[in-house]
Amino acid sequence: MTSSNKTQPGNYFEDFAVGQVLTHATPRTVTEGDVALYTALYGGRFLLTSSAEAARAVGFAAQPIDDMLTFHVVFGKTVPDISLNAVANLGYGEGIFGVPVYAGDTLTADSEVIGLKENSNGKTGVVYVRSTGTNQRGETVVSYVRWVMVNKRDATNVAPKPVLLSLAPTVDVTDLHVPEGLDLSGYDVKRAGSVHRFGDYRVGERIDHVDGMTVEEAEHMMATRLYQNTAKVHFNQFAQSSGRFGRRLMYGGHVISIARALSFNGLGNAFKLAAINAGTHANPVFAGDTVFAWSEILDTAEVPGRRDVGAIRVRTVATKDQPAAEHPYKDADGKYLPSVLLDFDYWVLMPL
């Protein structure tokens, strides 16, 4: 009996080329069920993604879905072509969230390979891609760069010529997208659960988000299936049992969503994630780890032409089994400590 070759094994490092455009399969219509599952997984409490009435009161057409749910759905589309054979997703940059996404919208993803570099071990390499998600009208909902370590099919294969790139350290505030029709004059801080507005935050301030959330195996598996993220390192214990850790890795985006949900306690009026400046998955996460988070205010900026909303640049650091912002997160050599899971630099929008 011969074996069929109709299945897709995914791309290995030597299959990528700079300039290559990847059209990702399976457009995904986001439903109210996805929103309910996302809330069940992370428990986010930000006002405008929780209440349709509050969202309409400030100019949204309906209750927008959480920006990170948009990110995850688009990210999941890219996995079979980019990171099915990944060792780990490493980081993000130059991410901008576009038009709001509502239940009923259909999201499609495409990526371009923009950089490549083989690792010194000759067995893996880093692939840099710019991925863009669009809705059914062709409007951009999110665009971002990510880099991922991918296995080679055969260590003896000649690697692609290295192409390195330099990313902007931050997204310029003039490039942030403010939803059309937004008017925060009717924003209800009492219902939002926080009295702290844009002017109450100072550069250098650290906010300990206090709460912790333990990562559960079942919840992580549900989340990756929700996003149709098929990476072997997340799903396949049979394959991972002989790998570096002997167990499945939690999807790094799962930690981002946990940290974002935890940040409500201290950043309750940061109603919209506007841009991702940089993000690093510093150490792996496994079932049973308890995630804590603290944030540092890196910058504040007026949004051009707006008198109701400002932008705050935040670094959120997620740790495992280590509460409290006063703990160091890097050693004397500038390397992340083993307890650090995520270092996430982003812009949020907040009422003035």
90-141 residue pLDDT tens: 899 999 999 999 999 999 999 999 999 999 999 999 999 999 999 999 999 9
SS3 content of the chain, % helix, strand, coil (to 5): 25, 30, 45
Residues 45 and 250: their CA atoms lie apart, in Å, by 23
> Collapsing DSSP states into helix, strand and coil, what is residue 28?
strand
Q: Which residues pair with 93 in a beta bridge?
A: 145, 278
Average pLDDT over residues 61-75: 97
Quote the pLDDT of residue 273. 98
> What sign results for the dihedral spanned by CA atoms 121, 282, 46, 351?
negative
Residue 330 near residue 336 (C-beta atoms within 8 A):
yes
pLDDT band at 161 (very low <50, low <70, confident <90, very high): confident
The third-level CATH classification (topology) of the domain covering 13-179+187-351 is Thiol Ester Dehydrase; Chain A (3.10.129)
Terminal Cα-to-Cα distance of the chain (whole angstroms): 69
Please state the pTM of the whole predicted model. 0.95
Quote the pLDDT of residue 4. 64
Residues 170 and 300: their CA atoms lie apart, in Å, by 13
Residues 113 and 24: their CA atoms lie apart, in Å, by 13
DSSP 53: H
185-222 residue pLDDT tens: 989 999 999 999 999 999 999 999 999 999 999 999 99
* pLDDT at position 1 over 80: no
10 Å CB burial of residue 158 (0-12, 13-18, 19+) is exposed
